[in-house]
Amino acid sequence: MRQRSLIAITAALAAGALTLTACGSRDDDGGSDSGNGGSGGGTTVVIGVDAPLTGDLSALGLGIKNSVDLAAKTANKENYVEGVKFEIEALDDQGQPSVGQQNATQLVANDDVLGVVGPLNSSVGESMQKVFDTAKLVEVSPANTNPALTQGVDWQTKKVRPYKSYFRTATTDAIQGPFAAQYVYNDSKKRKVFVIDDKKTYGAGLAKTFTEEFKKLGGQVVGTEHINPDTKDFNAVATKVKNSGADVVYYGGEYPQAGPLSKQIKAAGAKIPLVGGDGIYSADFIKLAGASGTGDLATSVGAPVEELPSAKEFVANYKAAGYKEAYEAYGGYSYDSAWAIIEAVKAVVEANDGKLPDDARAKVVDAMQDVSFDGVTGKVSFDEFGDATNKQLTVYAVENGAWKAVKSGTYTG
Protein backbone atom coordinates (compact mmCIF):
# COMPACT_ATOMS: atom_id res chain seq x y z
CA MET A 1 0.00 0.00 0.00
CA ARG A 2 2.67 2.57 0.64
CA GLN A 3 6.28 2.91 0.04
CA ARG A 4 9.14 5.17 0.84
CA SER A 5 12.59 5.60 -0.63
CA LEU A 6 15.12 4.54 1.95
CA ILE A 7 17.57 7.26 1.06
CA ALA A 8 14.95 9.96 1.08
CA ILE A 9 13.66 8.73 4.38
CA THR A 10 17.05 8.71 6.02
CA ALA A 11 17.48 12.44 6.16
CA ALA A 12 13.85 13.01 6.76
CA LEU A 13 12.96 13.40 10.38
CA ALA A 14 16.30 13.84 12.03
CA ALA A 15 15.93 17.59 12.02
CA GLY A 16 12.65 17.35 13.82
CA ALA A 17 9.98 17.06 11.16
CA LEU A 18 7.78 15.73 13.90
CA THR A 19 6.73 19.28 14.48
CA LEU A 20 3.42 19.48 12.71
CA THR A 21 1.17 22.27 11.74
CA ALA A 22 -2.23 23.12 12.94
CA CYS A 23 -5.07 25.44 12.58
CA GLY A 24 -8.47 26.01 13.97
CA SER A 25 -12.16 25.98 13.45
CA ARG A 26 -14.67 27.80 15.56
CA ASP A 27 -14.99 26.15 18.92
CA ASP A 28 -12.98 26.66 22.06
CA ASP A 29 -13.20 23.01 22.93
CA GLY A 30 -13.75 20.08 20.59
CA GLY A 31 -13.61 17.41 23.25
CA SER A 32 -10.97 14.91 22.14
CA ASP A 33 -8.20 12.80 23.57
CA SER A 34 -5.38 15.01 22.44
CA GLY A 35 -4.64 17.27 25.34
CA ASN A 36 -3.83 20.94 25.41
CA GLY A 37 -0.10 20.95 25.01
CA GLY A 38 1.02 24.55 24.82
CA SER A 39 -1.71 26.14 22.73
CA GLY A 40 -3.65 27.75 25.52
CA GLY A 41 -7.14 28.42 24.18
CA GLY A 42 -8.02 30.03 20.90
CA THR A 43 -9.43 28.19 17.92
CA THR A 44 -9.99 24.43 17.95
CA VAL A 45 -9.48 22.25 14.89
CA VAL A 46 -10.61 18.64 15.04
CA ILE A 47 -8.92 15.87 13.07
CA GLY A 48 -11.32 12.99 12.62
CA VAL A 49 -10.11 9.41 12.80
CA ASP A 50 -11.97 6.44 11.37
CA ALA A 51 -10.61 2.93 11.97
CA PRO A 52 -11.62 -0.44 13.44
CA LEU A 53 -11.17 0.27 17.15
CA THR A 54 -12.91 -2.96 18.20
CA GLY A 55 -13.05 -6.43 16.71
CA ASP A 56 -10.53 -8.58 14.85
CA LEU A 57 -8.65 -5.67 13.23
CA SER A 58 -8.48 -3.44 16.31
CA ALA A 59 -4.72 -3.92 16.74
CA LEU A 60 -4.16 -2.00 13.51
CA GLY A 61 -6.97 0.46 14.16
CA LEU A 62 -5.80 1.46 17.62
CA GLY A 63 -2.28 1.99 16.28
CA ILE A 64 -3.77 4.41 13.73
CA LYS A 65 -5.79 6.29 16.37
CA ASN A 66 -2.89 6.62 18.79
CA SER A 67 -0.50 7.87 16.12
CA VAL A 68 -2.93 10.59 15.02
CA ASP A 69 -3.40 11.54 18.66
CA LEU A 70 0.38 11.85 19.02
CA ALA A 71 0.54 14.16 16.00
CA ALA A 72 -2.14 16.43 17.47
CA LYS A 73 -0.39 16.54 20.84
CA THR A 74 2.92 17.32 19.17
CA ALA A 75 1.42 20.23 17.25
CA ASN A 76 -0.13 21.58 20.44
CA LYS A 77 3.05 21.22 22.46
CA GLU A 78 5.07 23.06 19.83
CA ASN A 79 2.32 25.70 19.45
CA TYR A 80 2.93 25.11 15.77
CA VAL A 81 0.08 27.40 14.79
CA GLU A 82 -0.34 30.21 17.25
CA GLY A 83 -3.77 30.36 18.81
CA VAL A 84 -4.81 26.98 17.44
CA LYS A 85 -5.41 23.76 19.37
CA PHE A 86 -5.78 20.38 17.67
CA GLU A 87 -8.04 17.66 18.93
CA ILE A 88 -9.12 14.33 17.51
CA GLU A 89 -12.50 12.69 17.20
CA ALA A 90 -12.01 8.94 16.76
CA LEU A 91 -14.86 6.74 15.51
CA ASP A 92 -14.98 2.95 15.32
CA ASP A 93 -15.96 1.56 11.89
CA GLN A 94 -15.62 -2.10 13.02
CA GLY A 95 -14.12 -2.82 9.60
CA GLN A 96 -17.63 -2.48 8.10
CA PRO A 97 -18.35 -0.23 5.06
CA SER A 98 -21.87 0.65 6.27
CA VAL A 99 -20.55 1.79 9.65
CA GLY A 100 -17.76 3.75 7.99
CA GLN A 101 -20.31 5.60 5.87
CA GLN A 102 -22.30 6.51 8.99
CA ASN A 103 -19.10 7.71 10.66
CA ALA A 104 -18.30 9.87 7.64
CA THR A 105 -21.69 11.54 7.95
CA GLN A 106 -21.11 12.13 11.66
CA LEU A 107 -17.68 13.69 11.07
CA VAL A 108 -19.04 15.94 8.31
CA ALA A 109 -21.70 17.21 10.74
CA ASN A 110 -19.00 18.50 13.14
CA ASP A 111 -18.01 21.90 11.73
CA ASP A 112 -14.71 21.80 13.63
CA VAL A 113 -13.52 18.76 11.67
CA LEU A 114 -11.22 20.00 8.90
CA GLY A 115 -9.69 16.66 7.93
CA VAL A 116 -10.03 12.94 8.55
CA VAL A 117 -7.36 10.24 8.87
CA GLY A 118 -8.48 6.77 7.82
CA PRO A 119 -9.86 4.32 7.22
CA LEU A 120 -7.87 1.07 7.39
CA ASN A 121 -9.92 -1.00 4.93
CA SER A 122 -10.23 -0.13 1.25
CA SER A 123 -13.84 -1.35 1.23
CA VAL A 124 -14.64 1.08 4.04
CA GLY A 125 -12.79 3.86 2.25
CA GLU A 126 -14.90 3.20 -0.82
CA SER A 127 -18.08 3.77 1.21
CA MET A 128 -16.87 7.08 2.69
CA GLN A 129 -15.38 8.91 -0.29
CA LYS A 130 -18.55 10.44 -1.74
CA VAL A 131 -19.76 11.65 1.67
CA PHE A 132 -16.51 13.49 2.31
CA ASP A 133 -16.14 14.78 -1.22
CA THR A 134 -19.66 16.24 -1.25
CA ALA A 135 -18.82 18.09 1.98
CA LYS A 136 -15.40 19.15 0.62
CA LEU A 137 -13.77 17.51 3.64
CA VAL A 138 -10.27 16.14 3.09
CA GLU A 139 -9.58 12.47 3.85
CA VAL A 140 -6.09 11.00 4.09
CA SER A 141 -5.83 7.23 4.46
CA PRO A 142 -2.68 5.68 5.92
CA ALA A 143 -3.70 2.20 4.80
CA ASN A 144 -6.06 1.97 1.80
CA THR A 145 -4.27 0.33 -1.13
CA ASN A 146 -6.90 -0.47 -3.75
CA PRO A 147 -5.92 1.51 -6.90
CA ALA A 148 -9.54 2.29 -7.86
CA LEU A 149 -9.95 4.64 -4.90
CA THR A 150 -7.67 7.22 -6.53
CA GLN A 151 -7.51 6.16 -10.18
CA GLY A 152 -11.04 4.91 -10.91
CA VAL A 153 -12.44 1.43 -11.52
CA ASP A 154 -10.80 1.25 -14.97
CA TRP A 155 -7.37 2.23 -13.60
CA GLN A 156 -5.56 -0.45 -15.60
CA THR A 157 -6.64 1.07 -18.92
CA LYS A 158 -7.67 4.66 -18.15
CA LYS A 159 -6.80 6.45 -14.92
CA VAL A 160 -9.38 9.00 -13.78
CA ARG A 161 -9.41 10.50 -10.30
CA PRO A 162 -12.91 9.98 -8.84
CA TYR A 163 -12.71 12.26 -5.77
CA LYS A 164 -10.66 15.41 -5.30
CA SER A 165 -10.83 15.26 -1.48
CA TYR A 166 -9.30 11.77 -1.13
CA PHE A 167 -5.56 11.26 -0.53
CA ARG A 168 -3.39 8.50 0.89
CA THR A 169 0.07 8.09 2.32
CA ALA A 170 0.00 4.38 1.43
CA THR A 171 1.18 3.12 -1.92
CA THR A 172 -1.25 1.00 -3.93
CA ASP A 173 -1.75 -2.66 -4.73
CA ALA A 174 -0.87 -1.85 -8.33
CA ILE A 175 2.67 -1.83 -6.90
CA GLN A 176 2.39 -4.05 -3.81
CA GLY A 177 0.99 -7.13 -5.58
CA PRO A 178 3.60 -7.16 -8.37
CA PHE A 179 6.37 -6.37 -5.87
CA ALA A 180 5.41 -9.48 -3.90
CA ALA A 181 5.22 -11.56 -7.08
CA GLN A 182 8.73 -10.50 -8.09
CA TYR A 183 10.07 -11.44 -4.67
CA VAL A 184 8.31 -14.81 -4.61
CA TYR A 185 9.43 -15.71 -8.14
CA ASN A 186 12.90 -14.15 -8.33
CA ASP A 187 14.13 -14.30 -4.73
CA SER A 188 12.25 -17.25 -3.22
CA LYS A 189 12.37 -19.19 -6.53
CA LYS A 190 8.77 -20.37 -6.19
CA ARG A 191 7.07 -21.48 -9.41
CA LYS A 192 3.65 -22.90 -8.43
CA VAL A 193 1.28 -20.71 -6.43
CA PHE A 194 -2.15 -21.34 -4.98
CA VAL A 195 -4.00 -18.01 -4.73
CA ILE A 196 -6.66 -17.38 -2.08
CA ASP A 197 -8.59 -14.20 -1.28
CA ASP A 198 -11.37 -13.06 1.05
CA LYS A 199 -13.57 -11.53 -1.71
CA LYS A 200 -13.22 -8.04 -0.16
CA THR A 201 -12.08 -4.94 -2.04
CA TYR A 202 -8.55 -5.02 -0.62
CA GLY A 203 -7.94 -8.76 -0.65
CA ALA A 204 -9.38 -9.55 -4.08
CA GLY A 205 -7.62 -6.59 -5.67
CA LEU A 206 -4.27 -7.49 -4.17
CA ALA A 207 -4.57 -11.14 -5.21
CA LYS A 208 -5.40 -10.04 -8.75
CA THR A 209 -2.35 -7.80 -9.19
CA PHE A 210 -0.09 -10.46 -7.63
CA THR A 211 -1.45 -13.14 -9.95
CA GLU A 212 -1.02 -11.07 -13.10
CA GLU A 213 2.64 -10.34 -12.36
CA PHE A 214 3.44 -13.90 -11.21
CA LYS A 215 2.07 -15.33 -14.46
CA LYS A 216 3.90 -12.71 -16.50
CA LEU A 217 7.16 -13.78 -14.85
CA GLY A 218 6.52 -17.39 -15.88
CA GLY A 219 4.95 -18.73 -12.69
CA GLN A 220 2.01 -21.13 -12.67
CA VAL A 221 -1.24 -20.65 -10.74
CA VAL A 222 -2.17 -24.21 -9.73
CA GLY A 223 -5.36 -23.28 -7.89
CA THR A 224 -7.57 -20.44 -6.71
CA GLU A 225 -10.10 -20.17 -3.91
CA HIS A 226 -12.28 -17.51 -2.29
CA ILE A 227 -12.85 -17.87 1.44
CA ASN A 228 -15.55 -16.54 3.73
CA PRO A 229 -13.87 -14.01 6.05
CA ASP A 230 -16.46 -14.74 8.75
CA THR A 231 -15.23 -18.29 9.30
CA LYS A 232 -12.06 -19.70 10.83
CA ASP A 233 -12.43 -23.25 9.45
CA PHE A 234 -10.26 -23.54 6.34
CA ASN A 235 -9.69 -27.29 6.31
CA ALA A 236 -11.37 -27.76 2.93
CA VAL A 237 -9.22 -25.17 1.19
CA ALA A 238 -6.14 -26.44 3.05
CA THR A 239 -6.73 -29.88 1.54
CA LYS A 240 -7.03 -28.34 -1.94
CA VAL A 241 -3.72 -26.55 -1.42
CA LYS A 242 -2.05 -29.81 -0.35
CA ASN A 243 -3.39 -31.68 -3.40
CA SER A 244 -2.47 -28.92 -5.86
CA GLY A 245 1.29 -29.37 -5.66
CA ALA A 246 1.78 -25.65 -4.94
CA ASP A 247 5.11 -24.58 -3.47
CA VAL A 248 3.70 -21.31 -2.11
CA VAL A 249 0.32 -19.81 -1.15
CA TYR A 250 -0.59 -16.20 -1.80
CA TYR A 251 -3.39 -14.80 0.35
CA GLY A 252 -5.22 -11.55 -0.37
CA GLY A 253 -6.81 -10.52 2.90
CA GLU A 254 -6.13 -9.72 6.54
CA TYR A 255 -4.49 -11.39 9.52
CA PRO A 256 -7.59 -12.66 11.42
CA GLN A 257 -8.13 -15.16 8.60
CA ALA A 258 -4.54 -15.48 7.36
CA GLY A 259 -3.20 -16.79 10.69
CA PRO A 260 -5.61 -19.74 11.04
CA LEU A 261 -5.37 -20.36 7.28
CA SER A 262 -1.59 -20.69 7.45
CA LYS A 263 -1.83 -23.01 10.45
CA GLN A 264 -4.42 -25.28 8.83
CA ILE A 265 -2.53 -25.47 5.51
CA LYS A 266 0.56 -26.72 7.34
CA ALA A 267 -1.54 -29.13 9.41
CA ALA A 268 -2.95 -30.56 6.17
CA GLY A 269 0.57 -31.50 5.16
CA ALA A 270 1.51 -28.63 2.82
CA LYS A 271 4.73 -27.37 4.41
CA ILE A 272 4.89 -24.30 2.22
CA PRO A 273 4.98 -20.58 3.04
CA LEU A 274 1.94 -18.34 3.03
CA VAL A 275 2.59 -14.90 1.56
CA GLY A 276 0.34 -11.88 2.02
CA GLY A 277 0.22 -8.10 1.91
CA ASP A 278 0.26 -5.44 4.60
CA GLY A 279 -3.11 -6.70 5.82
CA ILE A 280 -1.37 -9.67 7.45
CA TYR A 281 1.66 -7.74 8.69
CA SER A 282 0.76 -7.70 12.37
CA ALA A 283 2.02 -9.41 15.51
CA ASP A 284 -1.46 -10.90 15.79
CA PHE A 285 -0.86 -12.93 12.61
CA ILE A 286 2.05 -14.66 14.32
CA LYS A 287 -0.06 -15.38 17.41
CA LEU A 288 -2.80 -16.91 15.26
CA ALA A 289 -0.50 -18.90 12.98
CA GLY A 290 1.54 -20.32 15.87
CA ALA A 291 4.89 -22.01 15.38
CA SER A 292 3.89 -23.19 11.91
CA GLY A 293 3.92 -19.56 10.75
CA THR A 294 7.71 -19.57 10.66
CA GLY A 295 8.84 -18.76 7.13
CA ASP A 296 5.60 -17.03 6.14
CA LEU A 297 6.04 -13.71 4.35
CA ALA A 298 4.28 -10.34 4.20
CA THR A 299 4.86 -7.19 2.22
CA SER A 300 4.17 -3.86 3.88
CA VAL A 301 4.42 -0.25 2.93
CA GLY A 302 7.61 1.68 3.44
CA ALA A 303 10.87 0.70 5.05
CA PRO A 304 10.84 -0.69 8.62
CA VAL A 305 10.01 2.29 10.84
CA GLU A 306 12.43 1.15 13.54
CA GLU A 307 15.30 1.32 11.05
CA LEU A 308 14.58 4.80 9.69
CA PRO A 309 16.58 7.67 11.16
CA SER A 310 13.60 9.85 10.21
CA ALA A 311 11.33 7.84 12.51
CA LYS A 312 13.45 7.70 15.65
CA GLU A 313 11.70 10.67 17.21
CA PHE A 314 8.28 9.22 16.44
CA VAL A 315 9.18 5.86 17.99
CA ALA A 316 10.60 7.54 21.11
CA ASN A 317 7.65 9.92 21.49
CA TYR A 318 5.11 7.15 20.98
CA LYS A 319 6.75 5.14 23.74
CA ALA A 320 6.97 8.16 26.03
CA ALA A 321 3.28 8.92 25.51
CA GLY A 322 2.43 5.61 27.19
CA TYR A 323 -0.09 4.22 24.70
CA LYS A 324 -1.19 0.73 25.67
CA GLU A 325 -1.23 -0.55 22.09
CA ALA A 326 1.64 -0.79 19.57
CA TYR A 327 1.68 1.61 16.61
CA GLU A 328 1.65 -1.48 14.36
CA ALA A 329 2.09 -1.40 10.57
CA TYR A 330 0.46 1.98 9.96
CA GLY A 331 1.66 4.12 12.88
CA GLY A 332 4.16 6.18 10.92
CA TYR A 333 1.78 6.58 7.99
CA SER A 334 -1.04 7.64 10.31
CA TYR A 335 1.16 10.25 11.96
CA ASP A 336 2.19 11.53 8.53
CA SER A 337 -1.45 11.57 7.36
CA ALA A 338 -2.40 13.72 10.36
CA TRP A 339 0.62 15.93 9.85
CA ALA A 340 -0.35 16.43 6.20
CA ILE A 341 -3.74 17.72 7.37
CA ILE A 342 -2.01 20.01 9.86
CA GLU A 343 0.28 21.33 7.12
CA ALA A 344 -2.68 21.99 4.82
CA VAL A 345 -4.58 23.80 7.58
CA LYS A 346 -1.51 25.88 8.35
CA ALA A 347 -1.19 26.93 4.73
CA VAL A 348 -4.84 27.98 4.63
CA VAL A 349 -4.56 30.01 7.84
CA GLU A 350 -1.36 31.74 6.76
CA ALA A 351 -2.96 32.70 3.44
CA ASN A 352 -5.90 34.27 5.30
CA ASP A 353 -4.21 36.67 7.73
CA GLY A 354 -3.79 34.10 10.49
CA LYS A 355 -7.38 32.91 10.73
CA LEU A 356 -9.60 30.29 9.15
CA PRO A 357 -11.73 31.39 6.19
CA ASP A 358 -15.43 30.58 6.01
CA ASP A 359 -14.75 27.98 3.31
CA ALA A 360 -11.91 26.38 5.28
CA ARG A 361 -12.74 22.81 4.29
CA ALA A 362 -12.59 23.47 0.55
CA LYS A 363 -9.40 25.48 0.98
CA VAL A 364 -7.79 22.62 2.96
CA VAL A 365 -8.61 20.19 0.14
CA ASP A 366 -6.90 22.51 -2.32
CA ALA A 367 -3.89 23.03 -0.04
CA MET A 368 -3.42 19.29 0.48
CA GLN A 369 -2.48 18.83 -3.16
CA ASP A 370 0.63 20.96 -2.60
CA VAL A 371 1.63 19.59 0.81
CA SER A 372 5.23 18.40 0.93
CA PHE A 373 7.31 17.69 4.02
CA ASP A 374 9.83 15.28 5.53
CA GLY A 375 7.79 12.91 7.65
CA VAL A 376 8.19 9.85 9.82
CA THR A 377 8.08 7.61 6.77
CA GLY A 378 10.13 9.82 4.47
CA LYS A 379 9.16 12.51 2.00
CA VAL A 380 5.40 13.04 2.08
CA SER A 381 3.69 14.50 -1.00
CA PHE A 382 0.92 13.54 -3.41
CA ASP A 383 0.64 13.05 -7.16
CA GLU A 384 -2.18 14.21 -9.43
CA PHE A 385 -4.38 11.31 -8.26
CA GLY A 386 -3.85 11.95 -4.55
CA ASP A 387 -1.53 8.95 -4.28
CA ALA A 388 1.68 8.98 -2.27
CA THR A 389 4.71 9.84 -4.39
CA ASN A 390 6.89 7.57 -2.25
CA LYS A 391 6.70 3.93 -3.40
CA GLN A 392 8.90 1.98 -0.98
CA LEU A 393 7.87 -1.53 0.13
CA THR A 394 9.43 -4.14 2.41
CA VAL A 395 9.21 -7.94 2.54
CA TYR A 396 9.06 -9.38 6.05
CA ALA A 397 9.50 -13.01 7.14
CA VAL A 398 8.38 -14.69 10.35
CA GLU A 399 11.53 -15.73 12.22
CA ASN A 400 11.74 -16.79 15.87
CA GLY A 401 8.23 -15.59 16.60
CA ALA A 402 8.62 -12.10 15.11
CA TRP A 403 8.55 -10.30 11.79
CA LYS A 404 12.01 -9.64 10.37
CA ALA A 405 12.67 -7.37 7.39
CA VAL A 406 14.36 -9.25 4.57
CA LYS A 407 14.22 -6.88 1.58
CA SER A 408 13.19 -3.29 0.82
CA GLY A 409 12.62 -1.81 -2.60
CA THR A 410 9.86 -1.08 -5.08
CA TYR A 411 8.20 -2.71 -8.05
CA THR A 412 10.07 -2.36 -11.30
CA GLY A 413 7.71 -3.06 -14.15
Question: Domain for residue 355, yes or no?
Answer: yes
Q: Are residues 363 and 287 in the same domain?
A: no
Q: Are residues 296 and 178 in the same domain?
A: yes
Provide the domain limits for residue 110. Answer: 6-171+304-380
Number of domains in the chain: 2
pLDDT at position 307, please? 83
Q: Are residues 194 and 251 in the same domain?
A: yes
In this structure, are strands 113-117 and 373-375 parallel, antiparallel, or unpaired? unpaired
Q: Are residues 297 and 195 in the same domain?
A: yes
Residue type, 221: V
Angle value at C-alpha 318, between 295 and 142, nearest 5 degrees? 65
Contact criterion met (CB below 8 Å) for 339 and 21: yes
Q: Are residues 39 and 134 in the same domain?
A: yes
Those residues whose C-beta lies under 8 Å from the C-beta of residue 209, and which sit 6 or more positions away, are: 173, 174, 176, 177, 178
Q: What is the CATH number of the domain that holds 353?
A: 3.40.50.2300
Reference 398, options 293, 299, 304; nearest CA is 293
Q: Are residues 26 and 166 in the same domain?
A: yes
Question: Domain for residue 59, yes or no?
Answer: yes
How do the pLDDT tens digits run along the chain, 413 residues long? 333 333 333 333 333 333 333 333 333 333 344 544 443 447 999 999 999 999 999 999 999 999 999 999 999 999 887 778 999 999 999 999 999 999 999 999 999 999 999 999 999 999 999 999 999 999 999 999 999 999 999 999 999 999 999 999 999 999 999 999 999 999 999 999 999 999 999 999 999 999 999 999 999 999 999 999 999 999 999 999 999 999 999 999 999 999 999 999 999 999 999 999 999 999 999 999 999 999 999 999 888 888 888 899 999 999 999 999 999 999 999 999 999 999 999 999 999 999 999 999 999 999 999 999 999 999 999 999 999 998 889 999 999 999 999 999 988 77
Q: Are residues 235 and 343 in the same domain?
A: no
Question: Domain for residue 385, yes or no?
Answer: no
Q: Are residues 233 and 334 in the same domain?
A: no
Q: Are residues 246 and 363 in the same domain?
A: no
Question: Domain for residue 44, yes or no?
Answer: yes
Reference 19, options 409, 408, 381, 376; nearest CA is 376
Q: Are residues 292 and 217 in the same domain?
A: yes
CA dist 198 and 189 (Å) reads 26
Q: How far apart, in Å, are the Cα atoms of 23 and each of 20, 46, 362, 402?
A: 10, 9, 14, 40
Contact criterion met (CB below 8 Å) for 316 and 53: no
Q: Are residues 324 and 295 in the same domain?
A: no
pLDDT tens figures, 30-74:
334 454 444 344 799 999 999 999 999 999 999 999 999 999 999
Q: Are residues 226 and 157 in the same domain?
A: no
Question: Domain for residue 263, yes or no?
Answer: yes
Farthest CA pair distance, the chain = 69
Rg over CA atoms, the chain: 21
Question: Domain for residue 388, yes or no?
Answer: no
pLDDT at position 21, please? 30
Question: Domain for residue 130, yes or no?
Answer: yes
3-state helix, strand, coil in the chain (%, to 5): 40, 20, 40
Question: Domain for residue 87, yes or no?
Answer: yes
